[in-house]
Amino acid sequence: MLYQQIERNKRKTFLVMLVFFVIFALVGAGLGQLMWDKPLPGVLTAGVIALVYSFIIFQDPISVVMSMNHAQELREEDNPQLFHVVEDMAMVGQIPMPKVYLIPDQSPNAFATGLSPDKSAVAVTQGLLDMMNREELEGVLGHEISHIRNYDIRLSMVALVLVSAISFIADFAQNWMWFGFGGRRRDDDDEDGGSLGMIIGVIGVIFTLILGPLAASLAQMALSRNREYLADAGSVELTRNPQGLISALRKIENSQPMQAANSASASLYIEDPVRRPSLSHLFDTHPPTEERIKRLEQM
């Protein structure tokens, strides 16, 4: 089951990147059409920007995600107990020791990130350390280590980085369009580009406008909620003790939501840090806690 999940995650990661580059090229085409009446220079510019952006981010993606979530790296002396628990879980999970980060927030929560088990990191909030005993910490970190083993971290990292880029461009493009419409539009002589370029351009323009919601649903598609159940099961496989995770989930559920949660990275956390109104269950990033506890109790 672990291997299937790893394969599925690697496939999906590739797919997400592919879709991202297609979207990016279309946006480039749209902007090119608007700015220069030709899609091609837009596509090229977008391509170069995408490459440079990916290159910069993937140099050290962990630091990027950690600073998005205001997390600081911990050393062993800072919190030996936390370090020892992470060590234990990494040992039974048979992965190298991840880096450990602390988020100064009073709400209990945690997440894991990285591109592969060889280079990964876990982050916990101050609230988690204050509220959980050792057994509960093991449950939570077992869950995070399972995400690392499953390559869930790679998929969610890539989705997060790309979705942030797309929503940045979508904002930019929308602002620019409201400003720049009309002024730029001269009567074109239909010289090059032709009708095909025109069609691609129009698709691109429409795309740019609906981009934000599109990116969000793309991320939703990629990050199935099933992986939380799988990581819960993985945690029990490591700790052989469902009780720790059950009581940790209860405590997290009954606590305040996080103050400075970065909503783009909400899906990384063990429990949704934002707490949306219950109407929009369709867009939940996490399965309901009750259901997770029920499944843990059956183990």
- Cβ atoms 148, 98 nearer than 8 A: yes
Question: Two tokens at 207?
Answer: 């795309």
* Chain centroid offset of residue 115 CA: 12
Binding segment for another protein (CB under 8 A), chosen from 24-32, 80-88, 146-154, 281-289, is 80-88
Select the residue interacting with another protein from 73, 135, 253, 284 (CB under 8 A): 135
Going by C-alpha positions, the residue among 154, 79, 164 that lies closest to residue 121 is: 154
70 known ligand binder: no
Q: Determine which helix (DSSP H) or strand (DSSP E) holds 99, and give its type and residue range.
A: strand 99-103
Instruction: Tell me the number of residues near another protein by CB under 8 A.
Output: 17
Beta carbon of residue 73, minimum distance to another protein (angstroms, whole number): 21
Toward another protein, which CB reaches closer, 44 or 91? Answer: 91
Beta carbon of residue 243, minimum distance to another protein (angstroms, whole number): 7
Alpha carbons 97 and 201: distance in angstroms, whole number: 49
- Cβ atoms 257, 273 nearer than 8 A: yes
Binding segment for another protein (CB under 8 A), chosen from 56-64, 90-98, 161-169, 286-294, is 90-98
Beta carbon of residue 95, minimum distance to another protein (angstroms, whole number): 12
Give ∠ CA 126-227-67 in degrees, rounded to 5: 35
Beta-bridge mates of residue 122? 100, 112
Residue 234: partners with Cβ closer than 8 Å, 6 or more residues away: 2, 142, 143, 145, 146, 147, 149, 150
How big is the chain by its Cα radius of gyration, in Å?
22
Going by C-alpha positions, the residue among 89, 174, 102 that lies closest to residue 136 is: 89
Beta carbon of residue 84, minimum distance to another protein (angstroms, whole number): 4
Toward another protein, which CB reaches closer, 132 or 169? Answer: 132
Select the residue interacting with another protein from 67, 72, 81, 259 (CB under 8 A): 81
Q: Which of residues 219-258 bind another protein (CB under 8 A)?
A: 239-241, 243-244
Select the residue interacting with another protein from 84, 184, 281, 294 (CB under 8 A): 84
Annotated catalytic residue, options 73, 77, 135, 144: 144
281 known ligand binder: no
Residue 83 φ/ψ, nearest 5 degrees: -60, -40
Question: Two tokens at 87?
Answer: 């060590």
Q: Is 144 a catalytic residue?
A: yes
Alpha carbons 220 and 155: distance in angstroms, whole number: 12
Alpha carbons 298 and 32: distance in angstroms, whole number: 56
Select the residue interacting with another protein from 10, 11, 134, 185 (CB under 8 A): 134
Toward another protein, which CB reaches closer, 66 or 236? Answer: 236
Binding status of residue 94 toward another protein by CB under 8 A = yes
Q: How many CA atoms lie within 13 A of 116 on its CB side?
A: 3
Select the residue interacting with another protein from 105, 138, 144, 152 (CB under 8 A): 138
Binding status of residue 184 toward another protein by CB under 8 A = no
Binding status of residue 299 toward another protein by CB under 8 A = no
Binding segment for another protein (CB under 8 A), chosen from 66-74, 82-90, 152-160, 191-199, is 82-90
Question: Which residues are the active-site residues?
Answer: 144
Binding site per annotation, positions for Zn(2+): 143, 147, 228
Could you list the residues that contact another protein (CB under 8 A)?
A: 80-81, 84, 87-88, 91-92, 94, 133-135, 138, 239-241, 243-244
